[in-house]
Structure 1
Amino acid sequence: MPPSAGGASGRWPAEAHAAIERFLSASRQPALLEPGEDHFPLAPGCFLVDWNGQRLTIQVWDRTRSLVRRVTGVKHENPGKLTLVIEKFPRREGQVLLLDLARPSLAGISLQEKRLSFREEFRRLLARNFPDWKIAELSTEQDLEHSLSRLYPRALLRKGRLGLAAMGAPPGGGDADGALSCGLIWLDYLRQREPKLTIEGLAVFLPQGWERATCLRLRFLDPAAARFQVYVYSPEGYADLVDLRDYGNVDTRLEPARDETAGLSGRVLSWTERLGRGPHVERISRGSGSLSLCVRGLEFARCAGDTLEFGLARKMAAAAQDLPEIEAIARELARLRSPQAPDRENPLYRLQPERWLESQIRSHLEEIDSSLLPAPV
């Protein structure tokens, strides 16, 4: 459906209004997402669709944010997903998405949303800390050919004939330790791709409290090969350059392996044992007192104490009567996430390829090194 640039005739806004009504009536968990921002749940009392016959606007709000956009048309309409064309100041065209987060096919949207949101935060961090440099490239796109992950936003900064590689680890810290490895791959790739630039080094941005392991590793890299910098950013969006000399191997420790099932209640333990008998289901300790149930790296349930939560895009508390549904989810994941999958373009097949690779390594440790024990891992 082609959008109208100004919506003067009211035709395209009218069709957009009808499409929004269809979407809302068919959705169980509707949400609005503007690329680069956190989504707004379209809960009763938290949004307004205003249509006066000529002008269509949509307003959404929560406790801390609000957004108002004029809708000029519909770009795509699919089950559970509606892409709207909007007018942004000053008279620029943009897009917002209406999504039904209850649909399994949109399981990756929440992760994608977080990545896009952090990508824009990473852009602001770079602009503040490298004001004399130009951000020539910033991406979260996956590039399997060059082993570039979508987990970490990466950037190329330029100042004349000088270049600088930059890599960011998202908030939460769960993936912080992998940022340096991906950053070194990015640095090497840029040096090969940009022979006319002198890519002098790598800047890694890490969430506060998760920088220690990376700083210790950097102390053992050759400073003549590249200039390495670590910036630690706070939840408020401020970053500080750390001094690698402040990090030494004076606090060595090895976390003991823990049996995460020991903290589970009797009923939850029996549920995990039942679910663990499903095809290709793995039970993985997350080191935080919780146990994760995955199929080829994709988590479909997590439990701790007397609680088991299940779901892909959003987790819901489970009861005994939900077990058949959870088993069905696991079986469907095993069918879709398979080397013999009928549809390799399915989002559930393509979701989290790094976790899938990790799953393969876990199940074939002896082939990598016969001295490695299969548990604990």
Structure 2
Amino acid sequence: MTEAVFQPVENETHASEARYAIEQALLSAGSLELWIDDQYVCALSRAASEFSVEWGKLIFSWWDETHSQNWRVMNYALTAGEVRLRATRGWGHALTTVVLRDQTAWQAAQAERNAPLKVKRQSYAEALPLWLTKHFPAARIERVMSGKRRQRHWAIGYVKVRMRIGAENVLAIGVSADEEQTVIDSVVAAGLVWLSESNGVRQSVDRAQRLIFFVPEIRAATILERLTFLTAKHSEARIECFTVNQATGELTPVTIATQPELLSAQSPALQWPQSVELTVPQSDWIERIVSLAPEVIELRAATTRQGSARLLWHGLEFARVQPNGRAEFGIAGLADFERQHLTEMNFAALQELVAELAEQRCAKPTDRRHPLYGLRPEAWLESCLRRDITALNGVIDTALDERFVYSQIPAWQAESRSVLDLLTVTRTGRLAIIEIKESEDGQLPLQGLDYWWRIEQARLRGELAQHGLFPDLELADQSPLLLLVAPRLRFHRSFVGVARCLSPDIEAFRIGINTNWRERIRVYSYDCAQTIKLDYETEETNEEAGE
């Protein structure tokens, strides 16, 4: 069930549109309940209330035998079974919430809201085609596919509709507001892969000319950000997006921002890495812990708590020192290594933990099934690259500068907070963003894109120098490189279909490394992400060569 999205009523045009929308929403309602600031007031018949436009303002009036009130509507929202108003009375400026509720419809909506997710998905799958035919009267629905089972490239939760509008073949893919945010955001990858596969196996007359996303109206910001930097021109198609009000079935086209518009827009600030020397107080514990294995133990400033120091073994935190000098050790999530306060009495236990880390969290452990070996492999890989960023040299025209490697920079997407793996720079001063995956993840190109445009925005605004990054280095006036790194056999099979849609303005590379990277990182393959050929294209090329 979608949340209430309030629309402003700021002029006569808004007022007229609002009056029409509200009256349409109330057409099928019987008696209404009037609620003011969450307090029930009375049952209200349609004959005892009205909406009018007066002097460019939207006025809601109601009356009964003992009361008569006029409210100026400043905002309104339509949800299932309710019309919600933010309104003022008289000369007052304080906003009051006024609700007109169709109790029968509202209770049905509440029951749907509390229904199992499986039921909600089925309801959405049945409703989306109806909304499409209502919005596109000329549309002919050819096929509807819902995620009743997990498909090759897209998770349960998406509804795909193939339809024809006029002379164009259209692929429509929608996701319900009832899904988790990660599922909603992932609809972009699912749609791009569907378009790639669909157009790749069809004759030109049957290929889709449009890919349209239908997304929840108040949870679509990350999707719209991503669409700014995506293109389907190589598939001879264009990408569009509509927001969906699931309460009313209204579909609203969205104008996708241009790159300059998005890069110049206001966005949440990044939290930049702190210097350990500046943020962590002097502590004997830090020196003693690091001395146990100085060649392996890393010391990093915590990103979530100012002044804390994290001590890591190949990317796995095993100890932490707080701003007040208090230290803890242990492995989060492992009962055998529960966190405990570090004292002289149990320092030997910490030494035993470090010894076990040395034995099991290494390239050749005595037991590859040991939890210390298997925990946080991505962080381990990131740690290896951070120590030897030059292992990626040769992929791009100029070498990476090992003096400047920043890790775990928090970045804010529209609906969530995420972390950038590595930020570095080439010897010629060009920024390079390194996004790392140790296991298959179909979102790799899009997650890299999220970080790319945030860092590019920060570069254009001069924020890197303001926060003391890359001291005494003049950064090149170029957008960052985007390096997408994973073991060569661990790229998700959907990678190519998504990566080829990245804007040509983004210089992105797919870098495949050796699977035994724990011993030493070696680059086995690298490609420009946007020009990698799909399997069927490779087959066609081979056939042509054979002829």
Normalised by the length of structure 1, the TM-score is: 0.40
Higher relative contact order (CA 8 A, sep 6+): 1
Look at both structures and tell me which one has the larger radius of gyration over its CA atoms.
2
